[in-house]
Amino acid sequence: MKKLLPVFMFLMLFLAGCSSGSDFEINLKEAPKYKAGESYPVVIEVLQDGEPAAKLDFVAYLEMAKMDHGTIELDFEDKGNGVYESSVELPMAGEWIANIEGEGDGSAFEHVITFEVEKE
Ligand SMILES: [Cu+2]
């Protein structure tokens, strides 16, 4: 039991961190496509407690699901109405993962989106 206590406390911290204050819902509205040497838009919609979330600060770290292409960091521009846009030139089509980290209204959020990139 003594050995389990640190694990338990770590889990409690983790759970507390997840449910802090506001409830953010993050959707990928437009996934980038792939074509060598071309950039494509990445569009994300963020809702906070069901309403479009404005003036958020966040970054997305993209990596391929089953291959190592390193990490691509994306900054987003606030387009209004909870819509944020960036663009990216990907090295390959296939399954990608976006790790999104940000904050708004004093609460931080993290979200992971897996998406398919199609070859154009
Ligand atoms: Cu790859």
- Has residue 13 been placed in a domain? no
Between CA 7 and CA 3 the distance in angstroms is 8
Q: Residue 13's pLDDT is what?
A: 54
pLDDT in tens, the chain (120 residues): 566 666 666 555 555 444 445 789 999 999 999 999 999 999 999 999 899 999 999 999 999 999 999 999 999 999 999 999 999 999 999 999 999 999 887 888 899 999 999 999
Domain of residue 109: give its range: 21-117
Calculate how far, in angstroms, residue 81's C-alpha sits from the geometric centre of ligand 1. Answer: 33
Domain count, the chain: 1
Evaluate whether 10 touches 16 at the Cβ level (below 8 Å).
Answer: no
Q: 68-72 — which CB contacts under 8 Å span 24+ positions? A: none
- Has residue 82 been placed in a domain? yes
81: β partners: none
Q: Residue 4's pLDDT is what?
A: 67
Calculate how far, in angstroms, residue 92's C-alpha sits from the geometric centre of ligand 1. Answer: 5
Calculate how far, in angstroms, residue 9's C-alpha sits from the geometric centre of ligand 1. Answer: 38
Calculate how far, in angstroms, residue 59's C-alpha sits from the geometric centre of ligand 1. Answer: 21
CA angle 27, 30, 33 (to 5 degrees): 135
Q: In angstroms, what is the C-alpha Rg of the chain?
A: 17
**What CATH code is carried by the domain that includes residue 69?**
2.60.40.1930
- Has residue 91 been placed in a domain? yes
Calculate how far, in angstroms, residue 72's C-alpha sits from the geometric centre of ligand 1. Answer: 13
Tell me whether residue 112 is exposed, middle or buried, using C-beta atoms within 10 angstroms of its C-beta: 0 to 12, 13 to 18, 19 or more. Answer: exposed
